[in-house]
Structure 1
Amino acid sequence: MTKHLYNIPGKSIDIGKQVSNYINSLTKPLGSLGRLEELAISLAEMKNESFPSVSPAGVLVFAADHGITDEGVSAYPKAVTEQMVLNFLNGGAAINVFSRQIGALLNIIDIGVASDLDHSDLINKKVRYGTGNFLREDAMSREEAEKAIEIGYEESIEIINKGAQCLILGEMGIGNTTASSAILALLSGKAIEALVGTGTGITEEGIQHKVSVIKQSLQNRNPDSSDPIDLIAKVGGLEIAGMTGAMLAAASMRVPILVDGFICTIAALLAKQLSPNASDYMIVTHQSVEPGHQIALSLLGKKPLLDLGLRLGEGTGAAVTYPIIQSATLMVKEMATFESAGVSQKN
């Protein structure tokens, strides 16, 4: 793995203190804007700026297929990955709607869809045609895992260079909650039963089957939980690796990362494992209904901003939460101070 992936600066605590004092001079009772004030301070520390901006947001959606779907772990057939990528490219998916709403830059990246897609707006960075079925073989080689991380890194740098002031990461890949649950089982040491949810909508019976497939897969593959590349290579996904690399790039450039749901949080944990400072640049946007998400968030040490009962992925939860994060920056930029407004302060 190339060294630049780990070159992540620390947060600017001094700027944070200055912004905290400034917020206390704004025309409102002390602390009355609660977590918005915390957000504004965090963003200032991340960006090393007193008046940070998060506009426009950059959205990267990584798409890839999973060989583990051969084991019947998902409610939808593998073909849906390709169909949904075309839906993204034609502007009809939820992430398109919410990206338009917030005026975001949006890129769709094929990092491992199992078929060839032809569309002028698609960024084709296919590492391979889907992962291997990790019940029976490794998901990918170590070199492929590293290549997928590198691609994510480069795509992130590119959208930031085009002006993105914060990064939203999304994914599309039928079977990716299975891969994510397998990784989380190893990172958390928790029972697989406690982590596995309905994904795209499987039955109770389907959940039991998914649990047994993951258990057997982990025995067969025996990944090294202290080595994130080994985790990705043996039981991971190409889109998970892509998101991991994209987060490392954003953090290296002091760009805030708006972490979406369960799959995205697994990528966040892998990024943190590769470079602990990366988590300083992460804001968890919402609590997913996937049972593993809460466990993943406790490992990440972050508290979500919203709980809307979401479980879609694609970056949708982060995009919906974005206006709240933008509100925190505008509060600092546009609110009057007691002095400037001629308002008397509390005695």
Structure 2
Amino acid sequence: MNFGSDNQAGVSPRILQTLVEAASGIQSAYGNDEWSQRAEQMLGEAFGAPVKVFFVTTGTAANCLALSTIAQPWNAVVCHHMAHIAVDENSAPALFTGGASLLPMATDNGKISAEDLAAFVERTPHDAPHNMVISGLSISQVTENGLVYQPQEIAALAAQAHALGLRLHMDGARLANAIAALQCHPGDITWRAGVDVLSLGASKNGALMAEAVVFFDQALAQNFSLRIKRSGQLVSKSRTIGAQFCAWLEGGHWMELARHANAMAAKLSAALAATPGVRLSWPTQANEVFVRMPIALYEHLRAQGVRCSDWYASSLPAGTQLQAGEVVVRFVASWSSSDEEIAALMDLVHSHQRQAA
């Protein structure tokens, strides 16, 4: 019963088979292979726009390399206080940008709004050269609280950011889940909404190890190949990443995988929400479920082999307090989650409740 993270799931058989096929024969290296070139073309077709794409091996590399194009060492990038770049990427943003800072901001509803951004920038000291100069905004789609930005929310944020002279970066580690949830065109929540550069993840949605930096504003990609090289992310056998993206995108496979993960999360969310003593912390909008539950129940699930994670109390909505003996728990469904896993998990929940009664 694995609900620890979607990056713990295995590899889609279709993607793995394509990877095996790509492994034979001779191909050019460093992104000049047919698979990588085809993957870039397919990404442009998927988003419906000209793009410049660079493939990397990790989400942290994708995020921080992307940030390096919108922030100089004296700059700062605004992000949500629970953003992956602020909480789970160590000091990589500072390393890759040569010293730029993050300015995390807390909000009441788990997202950043255009009004939030304007107010935050207004109250941030901006007496150059004494203070950092804000140059960018980074948002996550899906957010770290499992929420999905609507197209109009992103468009308003982008308009506000651009009016302030900021570039907009999107952490799209779970972008496929957001697109599946919104049932929209990929372009509607990226370049059409004003996103300048995207970190696109496939690893959490069926791939083995495949991430990409996608530039919609191609001027930002100037000299990016040099950034890739000096960061150790210029992969010689680049076909191994390109082939994964080709199989991921072919025939809408990425959407099939994401829709399944979302459906499993919705089913698990409904079952947990109907359980006495378990309360949803955030609406389940994609493939993550956040609840508050008794610590004893969480410890019982873990002891029985359920993979899930106790989560940050600081991630709760404004005004929400943990009760005595409660813990925040995150469950993540993946492309390979099954009805049987959910049923087995709920059997453990119900058996524990009967024993505690």
Q: State the TM-score, normalized to the length of structure 1.
A: 0.28
Greater percentage in helix: 1
Structure having the larger proportion of residues in strand: 2
